[in-house]
Structure 1
């Protein structure tokens, strides 16, 4: 039985703190989280971890680390009695920012902990990441209501070797178990590719264990696009906050990304710029439309 994490009151708009960077150009992080979650009827409260002129897949970009301002930022939230239903964390600008997310967990103990441990892809860490930051990121796995790593990030978190996207069923089970052993309550392992024309995501919860994992399979398109992980995580959380169970939410997210990628291929510089999901946001709004 798949886990349902949020019981949605159809008239209530849940508030989600999105702890991510902001890119001026290139669709990822907050420029994905804000519109995607908003389309599904969530109030997105950004906590910008860094300001980029463009994401790190571009050869030229500027980065401003916002760590020095964030404690004051959260102090102000406390003074205004801001209420949160979830804390969604992604790309971080420094290892010190992990403590800021942990502060949010302390300040909002009833909020869902939604962790996309954005650290790398294809076996490589992102350009601005360090070993210290990756190690600190691992602290967020313990107690995560949802942990959503790709295989590169799962390898970093668990100290396992990255062996590529085409891993055997036994390796999938071992990886899922290692992630649960870190203290995650639910895990979505993204992007397994058996070279058979499909991409697979695996969902498991700590109570039922790896033997009860579920698989979501999606048609693989003949091109890759930067930022699909952020779009997937944001749409999965959107579906969870719309009251869908974990397996259904993962299936919705995978199809949202696939449909968005189909439209994206007609945009200039599409492989690098990111997922053009604007034409597909209505699919998420349908999850929470009132009669």
Structure 2
């Protein structure tokens, strides 16, 4: 029975403040009853007030992390987050092509909640050309989708058009997050599946600044559900429910954009 327990992989940067990045990924995956591993691409000095500094790790060490995991674990689903720059995007792409880690969820992280750039400008095209085509699920927010597509997105119709454009770039299933949309009472995400079906996911908009790590948490929950054998629609719907609960049942940590409550969804016994 060795390696039969569902295992996942997050490929991203750390968050020393614990609310986003690899730290949020590991917490989410643990709450969703999978065992998570990690390839660290970059290390940040970060808290709820912002990102003070970060450094990407050497290529050799990143490659060795991938090789080490492939030699021992049976990873059933993986995700990417912060990848720093074009060189590191290409490193990750090369390793994802080399090893089979199951379906890939790509969270194209570009900007931190506090406004700090987490992806170099010259890396956006690399993400678009080399990483997006590998994505089984792509989870951009509106600013990220605008950068990737070159489209202006300020309506439901434009969200739908952007999702189509992202799918045409090679992403199989697209979850376009509408959290940045200027709608006072609800947050609506648009989902376009590989089979052509589409639907909206809507939840009440919660008036809070404690949303640090929302994208990481969503993509991690989707990854965990895929590792357990869920289909893409079910995994995406569960991800939305999980994040909504984690925002609604807040915890008071930090003085800025505070973290989510990663155990909130399970407090009511919902699995």
Which category describes the TM-score, using the shorter chain as reference length? 0.7 to 0.9
**Offset at 1:137?**
1.7
2-structure distance, mates of 1:275, 1:184: 28
| 1:107 equivalent among 87, 92, 98 | 98
Q: Which residue of 2 aligns with 1:152?
A: 143
Map residues 1-291 of structure 1 onto 2, 5 A cutoff: 12-55=4-47, 58-59=49-50, 61-68=52-59, 69-78=61-70, 80-109=71-100, 111-120=102-111, 126-138=116-128, 139-161=130-152, 163=153, 167-191=154-178, 193=181, 195=183, 197-208=185-196, 212-224=197-209, 225-264=211-250, 266-269=251-254, 271-282=256-267, 286-287=270-271
1-structure distance, mates of 2:51, 2:78: 31
User: Do the aligned partners of residues 169 and 26 (structure 1) sit closer, same or farther apart at CA in structure 2, a change above 3 Å counting?
Assistant: same
SS at match of 1:191: coil
Under a length normalisation based on structure 1, what TM-score does the superposition of the two structures give?
0.80
Q: Which residue of 2 aligns with 1:8?
A: none
CA contact (8 A) 2:15 2:46 kept: yes
Displacement over 6 Å in runs of 4+: none
Under a length normalisation based on structure 2, what TM-score does the superposition of the two structures give?
0.86
5+ residue gaps, structure 2, are: none
**Offset at 1:99?**
2.0
CA contact (8 A) 2:8 2:224 kept: no
1-structure distance, mates of 2:115, 2:208: 21
SS at match of 1:273: coil
Residue correspondences, number: 266
5+ residue gaps, structure 1, are: 1-10
User: Do the aligned partners of residues 223 and 110 (structure 1) sit closer, same or farther apart at CA in structure 2, a change above 3 Å counting?
Assistant: closer
1-structure distance, mates of 2:137, 2:265: 24
SS at match of 2:52: coil
2-structure distance, mates of 1:221, 1:129: 28
1:84-108 C-alpha deviation (Å, 9 max, x unpaired): 2222101112221212222232222
User: Do the aligned partners of residues 75 and 240 (structure 1) sit closer, same or farther apart at CA in structure 2, a change above 3 Å counting?
Assistant: closer
2-structure distance, mates of 1:89, 1:74: 13
Aligned residues: CA RMSD: 2.7
User: Do the aligned partners of residues 268 and 44 (structure 1) sit closer, same or farther apart at CA in structure 2, a change above 3 Å counting?
Assistant: closer
CA contact (8 A) 1:66 1:93 kept: no
CA contact (8 A) 1:40 1:242 kept: no
1-structure distance, mates of 2:229, 2:85: 33
User: Do the aligned partners of residues 60 and 215 (structure 1) sit closer, same or farther apart at CA in structure 2, a change above 3 Å counting?
Assistant: closer
SS at match of 2:16: strand
2-structure distance, mates of 1:247, 1:270: 36
SS at match of 1:222: coil
